[in-house]
Amino acid sequence: MLNGAFIILLISTLSPPENVRALKIINNDSISITIGWDKSKDNARVENYEIYRSKYTLLKTLVQDTIFIDQNIKSENYYLYDVVKKEKIKEYNGQKNFLKVVSIGYQIIKDTISKRNIIKWKRPNDLYLGEIYEIWRVDKNDNYELIGSVSKEKNSFRDSLIKDGAKYFYKVSAVTGTEQSFSTPSEPLFTIGIPKFLFAQDIPNDEGEGFRIIWEPSPNYDMIKSYALLRLVYDSIAGFKDTFSYTDTTLKPGINYHYYIGKNYQIIMPAKIVADSIGMTGRVIKLEWKLNPKVVGQNYDLTLIYRAEKDSANNFQYVDYTAPDEEKFLDGTAEPNKEYIYEARAVKERAIPFSIERDTVIENKRMVSLSWKGSKEPPEFLGYYVNRTEKDSGNYGIYARLGTQVNTYRDRIGIFNNVPYAYRIVAITKDGEKISSETTPYVTASPQWFHLGRINALIGIAIFIFFVVFFIEYTRKGRQDIFVRRIAGLSAIDEAVGRATEMGRPILYVPGTSVIDDVATIASLNILAEVAKKTAQYNTPLIVPNRDPIVYTVAREVVKESYNKVGRPDAFNPDSVYFVTDSQFAYAAAISGIMIREKPATNFLVGMFWAESLIMAESGASTGAIQIAGTDAVTQLPFFITSCDYTLIGEELYAASAYISRNPTLLAALKSQDYSKLVIVMVLVIATILALLNFGIPIFNFFNIQ
Amino acid sequence: MPSFDPWVWVSALLTLAIFSFLYKDNPFYKIAEHIFVGATNGYAVTFYWHNVLVPRLFNPLFQGHQLWYIIPLTIGILYFTRFIPKISWLVRIPIGITIGYFTGIAIPAGIEASIIKQVGGTLLTSENFARWNAGPLGIVWSIILFIGVLCVVSYFYFSKEHKGVLKVTSGIGIIFIMIGFGAAFGYTVMARVSLLIGRLQFLLGPWLGIIR
């Protein structure tokens, strides 16, 4: 099928443009190809059209139609078509009724990946045969450039002076004497280029056992089907249980090797067949097993599934693998009418320190002796394994298949600390060609405490903390002249609490629907503390329904503490703060019900919200309550703005607790936020100026976080 | 043809009961609401028991004898001390650990994602121009974004009254914010409508069999 082909088939005219129109593929599928062409301006002169296919096979002659369906095709084949128009010419060189034959030609332009474009064309025949053909290349700025010419016998040209990733357009002109006729421009052509590694590096700030690999994405990803990431493979060459040394005598001359000693563990968990059915894709057996408690939290790498026929119960064969904490598996490879038994085997492998005792050559035979220390092992210990790979020449295996849009990958499977690895990235084109990058330098993983790729974040945090400490000290020294501008939503809190008190109705406080690690939730609990103080002072009932169990516990303590602080512990009602449910919409339904039945005078909807925001805000609005909302969820703020009386937008939410309490320490924190914002603005302006002045400093990279 | 599956009927009637709130609060809504809350709570308790407590705590501790699991168990148990008034203050220990732990995670993550990455994305650099994928117009978009960010940040500057230059910049900032909210509003409404369509498809399809 043409679609699957890498060759770009372009069809255009090579004859005088005012006389002939383009030949087009209208449709192509696995059983037919439909081609069409435009009618000549003076169609009355056309006697017929002849349709040719590859190798000048005349398929059909058409008199008036300008469309042809070729059903005699095989899939996965290339076909080239040509339509020849025969015109009646009354006078030509004194002869009458001469048939002028004009080819509506085609051209093929092929991207060969290996940095050359091949331009092919079909020679126009008879009168329009050129004496030479000129090949013009057009860059993306529409500048024409003659890049070469060939004699009339040739019908192709190779353009090797091309750059990776650049777009090129071509035209071919047939030159006869002083006449020159151009083909229509080709579609833009790309070169794919060889994938280029930027780096493979140990993932910083972790326990090791993993690499981060980044490569330069191809600018022409539409021509690439996928990438494959290849990693240096270590082969297991020997295994022992109670032996702690090994001499490798199977070394090839002139090659260096890498080694590591791995020790393996395996826990066998009998798997139970819970379903055995024939589905659309054949027999499917569903297994379940109970995870051995030793597996949990012990960094087991995988669970391997093994199967044996019931008659030969000891002959277990490997089937597939699952994640280490899975407890079920679907086996779709079972044969019909056979009975099986299964095992799930949790496995892990660890690399241990070893030393090379000797590396000698005796009678031209090289021997490397390795030794390591044994240790007391649990029953699931399988043994020590000596693993080896050839240095440099290398044995590479595919470790990940990746899409065209990604250019980074974290490889964490089966990597051991202090063992050298290397990578290659292979671009696989749509026609199956594989283009491999250079190999990365050897990299080793190790546990690290400090993440060097996040120093910019550390600087940001340090600046912020500096401001916080500075302003807290500032307020402690008695300079409490900290100004904060008026924030309408927060100024309304007093009014809202007062209104509820006057009306003798409760206040409903919804601390968001998120968990405690959400900054908005923490900000909401700070506001709750201040609201609770006011309700305690006025003895106004407060209702705080919660969605998250931890937030509930914290909210309860916060409210209790506030009642204590204003000297009203007796007024605290433990049942006023309660847990509803952790289901998002069930919680929204319950809040709506509370709003309608309890008829609070004021509703606070402060914290993190998702899709339930409008349900709650609209229910509250329908009861006539004053509503004060606050969130940093950009997608929910518009709903609060439309349905609530006051809305705290993003940052105002974080400023709220300081604003309400006027607590000097909290005000100091707010001030430090403001100064941090000033720093951000200054950084933005200065960095932009530096970037625009182009001093060669990679400004953009300073803001990259790895 | 309407469904003969009783669960489809239960599901459809509960959906209608919830929809009835659009008219006003009524017993059907109350029933549905309480079933919803009760069922989700029952589900959550079972879920956490079977998927968290047993496999992640009890099995490794009591069967795998991994004794260090006693530490999280003890911290978790402290949450229940609030039922014993004399030692209810102990509940502050797990709360303190939880908030401290999550704040520690949230602050660096917030500074990285909400500040450093955003500042990097706002700079007027060739990399950011190219990200718009709009050719020379990328420069214009980047400049608009740059001005927008500066003005919006000035709106959230609390240490000065919005007067003079700050009044102008914060005024422009609020325009940018509202444009952003307008876009978010439209986008989210479309998502909500798709939720409604999903429910209507269920009522008209699997339940009543009017659409297939």
With a cut of 90, say whether residue A102 has pLDDT above it: no
- Confidence tier at A190 by pLDDT (50, 70, 90): low
Asked if B38 and A591 touch (Cβ cutoff 8 Å), the reply is no
Q: What is the Cβ-side half-sphere exposure of residue B108, based on CA atoms within 13 angstroms?
A: 13
Beta bridge partners of A400: A229
Nearest chain B Cα to A290, which residue?
B55
pLDDT at A176 over 80: no
Please give the ipTM for the structure prediction: 0.91
Query: What is residue A699's predicted lDDT score, i.e. its pLDDT?
Result: 79
CA dist A395 and A389 (Å) reads: 7
Quote the CA–CA distance of B151 and B170 in Å, as a whole number. Answer: 6
For the purposes of burial, counting CB atoms within 10 Å of the CB of A350, is it exposed (0-12), middle (13-18) or buried (19 or more)?
middle
Whole-number Å distance between alpha carbons of A14 and A136? 13
Query: What integer pLDDT is reported at residue A5 of this predicted model?
Result: 31
Residue with tokens 């409404």: B189
Mean predicted confidence (pLDDT) in A500-524: 92
Q: A679-693: string of b/e by CB count within 10 Å (b at 16+)?
A: bbbebbeebbeebee
Smallest Cα distance from A136 to chain B, Å:
26
What integer pLDDT is reported at residue A675 of this predicted model?
92
Mean pLDDT value of segment B152-178: 93
Judged by CB atoms closer than 8 Å, whether chains meet at A639 and B188 is answered as yes
pTM: 0.68
Calpha distance A423→A443 (Å, rounded): 9
Specify which residues A322 forms β-bridges with.
Answer: A303
Q: pLDDT at position A158, please? A: 78
pLDDT number for residue A577: 96
Candidate ranges A36-50, A198-212, A244-258; pick with highest mean pLDDT: A244-258
Q: 3-class SS at A116?
A: coil
Give the H/E segment covering residue A268. Answer: strand A257-279
**Three-class secondary structure of residue A294 per DSSP:** coil
Q: Are A9 and A25 in contact (CB under 8 A)?
A: yes
A116-130, B50-64, B83-97, B176-190: least confident range: A116-130
Q: If you ran DSSP here, which 8-state letter would residue A421 be given?
A: B
Strand partners, A358: A369
Closest CA to A119 of A83, A78, A149, A84: A149
Does the beta carbon of B106 lie under 8 angstroms from any beta carbon of chain A?
yes
3-state helix, strand, coil in chain A (%, to 5): 25, 40, 35
| Percent of chain A predicted with pLDDT > 70 | 80
Q: Which amino acid is at A284?
A: V
Percent of chain A beyond pLDDT 90? 38
Using an 8 Å CB-CB cutoff, list chain A residues near B146. Answer: 684, 688
Question: What DSSP string describes A554-598?
Answer: HHHHHHHHHHHHTT-GGG--GGGEEE--S-HHHHHHHHHHHHHHH
Which residue in A has a C-alpha nearest to residue B159's C-alpha?
A484
A93: tokens are 């060189």
| pLDDT score for A103 | 39
Predicted confidence band of residue A178 (pLDDT cuts 50, 70, 90): low
Q: Which helix (H) or strand (E) segment is A692 a member of?
A: helix A664-693
Is the pLDDT at A468 greater than 50? The verdict is: yes
Mean pLDDT of A9-20: 31
**Cβ contact B168:B154 at 8 Å:** no
Q: What is the mean pLDDT of residues B40-52?
A: 93
**Closest chain A CA to residue B151:** A681
β-strand pairing of A23-28 with A179-182: unpaired
| B48 and A CB contact within 8 Å | no
Mean pLDDT value across residues A326-330: 92
Task: State how far the Cα of A166 lies from the Cα of A604, in Å rounded to an integer.
Answer: 58
Contact A362, A247 (CB under 8 A): no
Token reading at A296: 């949990």
* A609 pLDDT higher than 90: yes
Flag if A583 and B92 touch (Cβ within 8 Å).
Answer: no
| Residue A16 pLDDT exceeds 50 | no
| CA A496/CA A490 separation, integer angstroms | 10
Distance from CA of B124 to the nearest CA of A (A): 5
* Most confident residue range from A144-158, A214-228, B72-86: B72-86
**Is there a contact between A316 and A343 (Cβ–Cβ < 8 Å)?**
yes
Q: Any idea what the Cα angle at residue A65 is, between residues A62 and A69, rounded to 5°?
A: 80
Tokens describing residue B21:
């709130």
For the sheet with A67-70, list strands across it: A23-28, A33-37, A67-70
Torsion angle, alpha carbons of B79, B81, B87, B92, to 10: 10
Single-letter code of the amino acid located at A167: K
Name the residue among A296, A638, A673 with its Cβ closest to that of B185. A638
Q: What pLDDT does A92 receive?
A: 39
**Residue A566: other Cβ atoms inside 10 A:** 14
Q: What is the mean pLDDT of residues B156-184?
A: 93
Distance CA A121, CA A152 (A): 11
Alpha helices in A110-257 (DSSP H): none
Q: Is the pLDDT of residue A606 over 80?
A: yes
Strand partners for A144: A138
Integer Cα distance of A176 and A172 in angstroms: 13
Residues A615-620: what's their mean pLDDT? 94
Those residues with Cβ within 8 angstroms of residue A601's Cβ, 6 or more apart along the chain or in another chain: A496, A499, A500, A503, A505, A506, A507, A625, A626
Cα separation of A626 and A624, whole Å?
A: 7
Residues A692, B124 contacting (CB under 8 angstroms):
yes
Q: Is B162 on the interface with A (CB under 8 A)?
A: yes
Question: Cβ contact (<8 Å) for A635 and B192?
Answer: no
Question: B107, A550: Cβ pair inside 8 Å?
Answer: no
Strand order in the sheet with A365-371: A245-248, A365-371, A355-362
Angle at A189 between CA A184 and CA A195, to 5 degrees: 180
User: Mean pLDDT throughout B116-128?
Assistant: 89
Cβ burial A178-207 (10 Å sphere, 16+ → b, else e): eeebbbebbeebbbbbbbebeebbbbeeee
Q: How far is A688 from chain B (nearest CA, A)?
A: 5
State residue A205's pLDDT score. Answer: 72
Q: What backbone torsions phi and psi does residue B20 show, to the nearest 5 degrees? A: -65, -15
Residue-wise pLDDT for B67-91, tens only, equals 999 999 999 999 999 889 899 899 8
Which of A174-188, A289-303, B21-35 has the largest mean confidence?
B21-35
Q: Is the pLDDT of residue A3 over 50?
A: no
> Would you tell me the crossing angle of helices A613-622 and A584-598 to the nearest 10 degrees?
10
Among all chains, which residue has been given the structure tokens 């803001």? A703
**Measured between alpha carbons, how far is residue A593 from residues A513, A542, A693 in Å?**
16, 16, 61
Higher per-residue pLDDT: A502 or A325:
A502
Q: Out of A116-125, A500-509, B67-76, which region has the weakest mean confidence (pLDDT)?
A: A116-125
Whether residue A186 contacts residue A169, with contact meaning beta carbons closer than 8 Å, is answered with yes
Cα separation, A601 vs A128, in Å, equals 90
C-alpha B166/C-alpha A246 separation (Å) is 76
Nearest-CA distance A363 → chain B (Å): 54
Instruction: Tell how strand A117-121 and strand A81-92 pair up.
Output: unpaired
The token pair at A273 is 């067949």
Neighboring chain A residues of B154 at a CB cutoff of 8 Å = 681
Place of tokens 């989700």: B40
What are the structural domains, with CATH classification, of chain A?
2-190 (2.60.40.10), 196-233+395-436 (2.60.40.10), 235-259+352-373 (no CATH), 262-351 (2.60.40.10), 451-481+664-706 (no CATH), 488-662 (3.40.50)
Query: Which token pair is A187?
Result: 């579609």
Contact A684 B149 (CB under 8 A): yes
Q: Which residue of A has its CA nearest to B83?
A: A574
The first and second tokens of residue A211, run together, are: 């690499």
List chain B residues with CB under 8 Å of A519: 106, 110
Distance CA B129, CA A472 (A): 41
Q: Is pLDDT larger for residue A253 or for residue A263? A: A263
**Which tokens go with A399?**
């470790």
B68 and chain A in contact, CB less than 8 A: no
First and final CA of chain B: distance in angstroms? 10
Mean pLDDT over A214-223 rounds to 71
Which among A35-49, A87-101, B130-144 has the top mean pLDDT? B130-144
Element at A68 (helix H, strand E): strand A67-70
Measured between alpha carbons, how far is A37 from A44 in angstroms, rounded to an integer? 16
- Read off the pLDDT of each residue in A390-396 and give the average, rounded to a whole number: 79
The answer to whether the beta carbons of residues A86 and A96 sit under 8 Å apart is: no
Which one is predicted more confidently, B177 or A124? B177
Ramachandran bin of A97, using left for φ above 0, alpha for ψ from -120 to 50, beta for the remaining angles: left
Residues in chain B with CB shorter than 8 Å from the CB of A554 are: 95, 98-99
Q: What is the pLDDT of residue A140?
A: 58
Q: In what order do the strands lie in the sheet with A396-402?
A: A396-402, A224-232, A423-429, A434-436
Which sequence spans correspond to the domains of chain B? 123-212
Lowest mean pLDDT among A41-55, A88-102, A300-314, A607-621: A88-102
Closest by Cβ to B181, choosing from A580, A585, A641:
A641
How much is the average pLDDT of A673-682? 93
Could you tell me if A616 and A510 are in contact, meaning their C-beta atoms sit under 8 angstroms apart? yes
Does A453 have pLDDT greater than 50? yes
Q: Closest CB to B41: pick one of A296, A454, A581.
A: A581
User: Between these two residues, A408 and B73, which has the higher pLDDT value?
Assistant: B73
Q: Is the pLDDT of residue A113 over 90?
A: no
Mean pLDDT of A255-279: 92
Give me the mean pLDDT over the A140-164 stretch.
75
The label of the residue with tokens 């998250």 reads A548
Quickly state the pLDDT bin for A106 (edges 50, 70, 90).
very low
Q: State how far the Cα of A305 lies from the Cα of A266, in Å rounded to an integer.
A: 12
DSSP-derived 3-state class of residue B145 = helix
